[in-house]
Chain A
Amino acid sequence: MEIKITNLSKYYYSGGKTIKALDNVSLSIPANRIFTLLGPSGCGKTTLLRCIVGLEAPDTGEIKIGEDTVLSTEENIFVPTENRGLGMVFQTYAIWPHMDVFNNVAYPLQTRKVPKDVIRSKVEKTLRFVQLEGFEDRPATKLSGGQQQRVALARALVAEPKVILFDEPLSNLDAKLREETRKDLRIFLTELQITAIYVTHDRIEALSLSDIVAVMNGGQIVEMGEPRDIYLNSNHRFVADFIGRTNLIEAKVTAQEESVTKVDCAIGSFACRKRADLNPGDNVTLCLRPEFIRLKRGGASEAQNVFNGQIESLVFIGEAFEGEIKIRESQIFIKTEPDSDIRVGDSANFAVDPDHCLLVIR
């Protein structure tokens, strides 16, 4: 089911100051896709999620879930959480400690006054789906973290909600389990063909799990798109920096050419991917991802985007070398093939394809 959010704002007042948790946010979340809100803590992602589910009352704006308007400050509509028909997995899982697994999962059906035999078969089916068959009579608190997480998921799914929401559900799991659960979750959600809204501050989680990522900062959505697109073609310095390890170098536009935009910066002059909206003299930021900086052996045959630097540090991490090189007064992160024979102290030439020299706005 599609979700449409229009001009949503939420303010907090503390100590005489107004904090904009959500600053006039408008967006539309397509049906049956996994949609992720990504951002640092305090960026408003959780507030936005809580507004959609109805646990938070925004100051202005409108939210439509499918054809139903669940919130409109103008028309004075506020559908309470319990009538929005959604499912949600909380960061703490919120498993009720005084109930067993069956009653935890059956609860949404019980509140909807579903007949008992239907409840039993639906709970069984959902528990089978999350691979918790036979756990019905266990006290919920006696489960491991990963199992509690799946109980929470089963509870969110059991009433076949139109939309399911996740508030950092993996952050309490250890690294290995987190990776497995992330993979399982993607399979579950794709199989179910359900609209999922997922909140996280973990970029790898966002990139690997989602169909669409929206990066938030300061109560606003900075950029939104498919994970690969956001990673490779970001327009904003904040997004480029947040979504992956990168080198950000202050630069000045020198010329617009037919297929490239040329800039000058502390480590030399670069031909970059064309951005027609810039004029010579504009201040921009050059964004170089470490994995696109190639080590160049032998003489410099290409004249474009080659620079010479001294290797300051180098760490072998198995699938690659990670290191820092010094060029003039700047330090640049690199990531290069594990079979390179470079050593600390070496001086080497490096090159970047113009298409991987991204110009972003400050």
Chain B
Amino acid sequence: MVNKRSVLTPALIALVGFLTVCPVVMLIFGSFSTGLGAFGEFTLDKYIQGYTDPELGGIILNTIIFVLGSSFVATGLALLLAYLNTRTDIPFKFMFRIISIIPMMIPHILFSVSWVLLLNPSNGLINLFLRQIPGLENLAINIYSLPGMILVEGLLDLPIAYLILAPAMASFDISLEESSKVCGGSTLRTLFRVTLPVLRPAILAAFILSLVRSLASFAVPSVIGMPGRIYVLATHIYQSIATGFAADFGKAAAIGMSVLATSITLIYVYRYLTSESEKYVTISSRGYRPSVIELKGARYPMFGLVGILSMILIVLPVLVLLYTSMVPYSMIPSAKAFSMMSWKHWIEVINDPISLLSLKNSVFLGVFGATLGVTLSIFVAYVIVKVRSHASGLLESLSFLSFSFPGIVIGVGFMWFFVRTPLYATIWTLLIGYIATYLPYGVRPLTSAFVQVHSHLEESSQVCGAGPFTTMRRIVIPLLIPGIVSGWILMATMFVRELTLSVVLSRPGTEVLAVQIFRFAEDGLWGQLSALGIMMIIISTALVLLATLVGMKFKPVEE
């Protein structure tokens, strides 16, 4: 056993290190070299070109406004929702679970597209509807703007901010608030002087994670920003590699370096904060439920707010896409519209070989990639939790590194690497790239699963006469099943909807769903886009259900 372990740790460090460090190294080399590959002659030209671009100043300003704005929207809304759920008597609390989980099944690009369909200035459904009102004939609410981008990105980052804030809020030690009240503080004063300051690390962590995600976001800037000619760093980098005849990967890498550096810094601040917040927020061992604040008259208005939010986050995008996939062109719902509905767009998609190929590729990547990714995560999590040495600490840092990877930047690094291997332009490039970039999403649920398997549980099985194999089969694996299932669901849904990395790595023959939808959006084929989009949502949902069912089946029901 001792020998196996000592081989396992270095092997995993080599593998995970290769997956995460290799693209970064390629990116650094590439940004300093001439030509198209990563190993040309040394040059600083790419940096000089990239950073003396007169447009760059405006782009950076846009990026800062977009990233900060959307993070404020996400954290603010998440804070409100978490507070309402954990601390007040708001009705129908199950709604909060739905808000925090379901949006993961709706890909970001589809969410962005649905807002374009609703609010584009020429024929957005809401604009068309409002123009019927006398006096508003010339109204054109424009989603293709910075506020539009901030709103949509903020809503997209809301669930993850909520998932960080809600547990922190729920485990808050109520006696801290009670003592403030005993000292004469009002409810509002207590909220601002005690509750929020104590929760500050969690709030900051949620905010920083939103920053990282909006900085890496490509769906919103490309679908909503580019048509309005509003560029942020992600789309700026995309432009220099995808448009025109001379794609300049070196320049993209040079600019990408600062995005990557910012992102890595933010993620390490985030890690520091989360380890701090574990110290800060004490879980009350006395079994007290935090006292519930009565909303009184505000109870149903507040619930209305939550209801509207969940409509916007879940129901609206799906409905808009479904509707658009059936009508021949953009028109507001009416008797005429419903009479013209047909399966035309659906049939076109099913007969389109590239759409079919992208469907096939994405399902393969989702199922096979997630299975492979979770398998690797099991070993990584095992070493991080159970081996506990300096080497396992290194492995933990390595496996966390890719959490900060902006897909579009790291994609360039991967491309330079794969171009030198026979894997280039095959589906395996995407598979390896996905696993490397999304490894933390598999490792995290599995580390918490391993933490729950106290070593005494295994040892006690050994004392009871069970060998290592029986102990694995009857004790360890059953206890890990929930972690394995949630890791698989996270990875599979991420892989099915993956856009940013794929946009760089996908080649003819390796199209994936999100990229195909992105192409439809560029060409304005909204009907076909919506039909394919609905198929994508169905696939994601089916995978989630499948994994949940398998998890329940394997749950050891012992006679």
Interface readout for B541-559 with A: 1 if CB under 8 Å, 0 if not? 0000000000000011010
Q: In the assembly, what is the distance between CA of A92 and CA of B456, in Å? A: 7
A81 to B457 CA separation, bound complex (whole angstroms): 14
Residues of A within 8 A of B457 (CB): 94, 96
Query: Closest residue of chain A to B557, judged by CB?
Result: A98
- Spot the interface stretch: B74-82, B165-173, B299-307, B458-466: B458-466
Q: How far is the CA of A159 from the CA of B460 in the complex (A)?
A: 14
In the complex, A156 Cα to B462 Cα: how many Å?
12
A81 and B463 contact, CB distance less than 8 A: yes
Q: Are A155 and B556 in contact (CB under 8 A)?
A: no
Give 13 CB contacts A-B under 8 Å.
A53-B463, A55-B459, A82-B463, A86-B463, A87-B463, A90-B456, A91-B456, A94-B456, A96-B461, A97-B479, A98-B479, A111-B464, A155-B464
User: How many angstroms between the C-alpha atoms of A108 and B556 in the bound complex?
Assistant: 17
In the complex with contacts A98-B479, A111-B470, A82-B462 CB distance below 8 A: yes
Counting CB contacts under 8 A, is B478 at the interface? yes
Interface centre among A93, A96, A100, A103 (most CB of B within 10 A): A96
At the interface, yes or no: A348 with Cβ under 8 Å from chain B? Answer: no
B 457-491 binary contact with A (CB < 8 Å = 1; else 0): 10111111111001000110011000000000000
Which residues between 422 and 468 of chain B lie within 8 Å of chain A, taking CB atoms?
454, 456-457, 459-467
- Min Cβ gap B8→A in Å is 19
A82 touches B467 (CB 8 A): yes
Report, as a range, how many residues of chain A touch the other chain.
20 to 34
B462 proximity list for chain A (CB < 8 A): 54-55, 80-82
Cβ-defined partner of B558 (8 Å) among A90, A99, A108: A99
Contacts A96-B475, A98-B478, A98-B556: A107 and B456 contacting too (C-beta < 8 A)? no
Give bound CA distance, A53 to B474, whole Å. 21
Q: Are A111 and B454 in contact (CB under 8 A)?
A: no
Given known pairs A92-B456, A94-B457, A111-B470, the reply for A99 and B556 (CB within 8 Å) is yes
B residues 472-519 near A (Cβ < 8 Å) are: 474-475, 478-479
Contact partners of B478 in chain A: CB under 8 A: 98
Contact A82 B466 (CB under 8 A): yes
Specify which chain A residues have a CB less than 8 angstroms from the CB of B479 in the assembled complex. 96-98
Pair B454/A112 contact, Cβ less than 8 Å: no
Known: A83-B465, A88-B460. 15 other contacts (CB 8 A): A53-B463, A55-B463, A82-B462, A82-B466, A82-B467, A85-B465, A90-B460, A94-B460, A96-B461, A97-B479, A100-B558, A103-B558, A107-B466, A112-B465, A156-B463
Instruction: Name which residue of chain B comes closest to A55, CB basis.
Output: B459
Residues of chain B lying within 8 A (CB to CB) of residue A80: 462, 467
Residues of B within 8 A of A (CB): 454, 456-457, 459-467, 470, 474-475, 478-479, 555-556, 558
A97 to B470, CA, bound (A): 17
* Contact present for A82 and B465 (CB under 8 Å): yes
Q: How far apart are A12's CB and chain B's nearest CB, in angstroms?
A: 13
Complex CA gap A87/B464 in Å reads 7
Least CB separation from B475: chain A residue: A96
A-B pairs, 3 with minimum CB distance: A94-B460, A94-B456, A108-B464
Which chain B positions have C-beta within 8 A of A88? 460, 463
Contact B464 A107 (CB under 8 A): yes
* Residue pair A111, B460 in contact (C-beta under 8 Å): no
B465 near A108 (CB under 8 angstroms)? yes
Nearest-neighbor residue (CB-CB) of A53 within chain B: B463
Smallest Cβ-Cβ distance to B556: which chain A residue = A98
Q: A103-B558, A159-B464 are in contact. Are A81 and B459 (CB under 8 A)?
A: yes
- In angstroms, how far is the closest chain B Cβ from the Cβ of A91? 7
* List of B residues within 8 angstroms of A86 by Cβ: 463
CB contacts (< 8 Å) of A85 on chain B: these are: 465
Task: Name the B residues within 8 Å of A82 (CB-CB).
Answer: 462-467
Q: How far is the CB of A238 from chain B (nearest CB, A)?
A: 30
- Complex contact B463–A92 (CB within 8 A): no
A207 → chain B closest CB, angstroms: 27
CA distance A287 to B114 in the complex (A): 85
Q: Are B556 and A92 in contact (CB under 8 A)?
A: no
